[in-house]
Amino acid sequence: MASAREQLLQMLAAKSFRLGNFKLSSGGTSDYYIDCRLTTLDANGARLTGETVLQEIHRRDWRADAIGGLTMGADPIVVATSVISSQHGKPIHGFLVRKAEKAHGTGQRIEGFRDKPARVVIVDDVCTTGASTIQAIEAAREHGFEIAGVLCLVEREEAGGRANVEKAAAPAQFVALFTASDVRAAHVRNAPPPIFAVSAKCDFCERPAVTNMPGNRCEVHRSI
């Protein structure tokens, strides 16, 4: 049977990866989009996420007391990992970082686990520029946490994201479970064969079409 990590990659490729023309939160554009929440909020995907992240934490010997990240990309990763860790008898508690402090109540930015001193792992779903990951790192340190490690599910390998996060995380290590190239390769490898090639141009661009279902589509736009 495939490992949890391999199963998670296959699910990200099948459920979370799409080819097309997309505008990113960073302001840039891309011919693909990865929505990890379609996987991390899937019942089986959540289990695979928790198991894979927990295995990586143990493999890196980060000895974490808690795991957390910026809402809302990190939320399902935090909960899944915390639950799986409890099932293994060595609980890693969860916390979430608000994008801004509450304007009411206690006004805190860290929700959930807040004990100090504590070693924590910062997680995120996708790293492009690294901005959301860096916000979580800074908030955790401001609260008084020690950063044991930083992890994302998918690194897009662009916009200087890795360098930005590594600088902010240092001396803690930054790890990506998968790169966008990994997910893309799995998506293409597992894509169904075209119905048949057509002598036409794509409905969305000028590229030659490779399928006519549901319309004339090139390789980039075939999944739209």
Looking at the fold, whether 108 and 214 belong to one and the same domain comes out as no
Asked if residue 131 has pLDDT above 90, the reply is: yes
Looking at the fold, whether 152 and 210 belong to one and the same domain comes out as no
Cα distance between the two ends of the chain: 32
Looking at the fold, whether 110 and 200 belong to one and the same domain comes out as no
Average pLDDT of the chain? 90
Looking at the fold, whether 124 and 215 belong to one and the same domain comes out as no
Looking at the fold, whether 39 and 100 belong to one and the same domain comes out as yes
Residue type (1 letter), 179: T
Task: Output the pLDDT for position 125.
Answer: 97
Which domain range does residue 55 map to? 4-190
Mean pLDDT is lowest, of 23-32, 127-136, 155-164, for 23-32
Asked if residue 16 has pLDDT above 80, the reply is: yes
Looking at the fold, whether 203 and 221 belong to one and the same domain comes out as yes
Asked if residue 120 has pLDDT above 90, the reply is: yes
Looking at the fold, whether 177 and 205 belong to one and the same domain comes out as no
Q: What percent of the chain has pLDDT over 90?
A: 70
Looking at the fold, whether 184 and 205 belong to one and the same domain comes out as no
- CA distances, 223 to each of 34, 81, 117, 196, 207 (Å): 13, 31, 48, 15, 15
Asked if residue 46 has pLDDT above 90, the reply is: yes
Q: How many CB atoms are located within 10 Å of the residue 14 CB? A: 15
Q: Which one has a higher pLDDT value, 45 or 27? A: 45
Query: How many domains is the chain built from?
Result: 2
Looking at the fold, whether 91 and 146 belong to one and the same domain comes out as yes
- CA distances, 52 to each of 114, 149, 177, 183, 197 (Å): 24, 15, 9, 15, 39
Mean pLDDT is lowest, of 5-14, 17-26, 67-76, 158-167, for 17-26
Looking at the fold, whether 117 and 222 belong to one and the same domain comes out as no
Q: What is the CATH number of the domain that holds 129?
A: 3.40.50.2020
Cis link prior to 91 (omega < 30° from 0)? no
Looking at the fold, whether 72 and 179 belong to one and the same domain comes out as yes
Q: Which one has a higher pLDDT value, 220 or 173? A: 173
pLDDT digits (tens, 9 = 90+) for 71-113: 999 999 999 999 999 999 999 999 999 987 765 556 689 999 9
pLDDT digits (tens, 9 = 90+) for 171-213: 999 999 999 999 999 998 887 665 555 568 888 888 888 777 6
Looking at the fold, whether 90 and 19 belong to one and the same domain comes out as yes
Task: Output the pLDDT for position 11.
Answer: 97
Give the Cα separation of 85 and 95 in Å (integer): 14
Give the Cα separation of 85 and 140 in Å (integer): 21
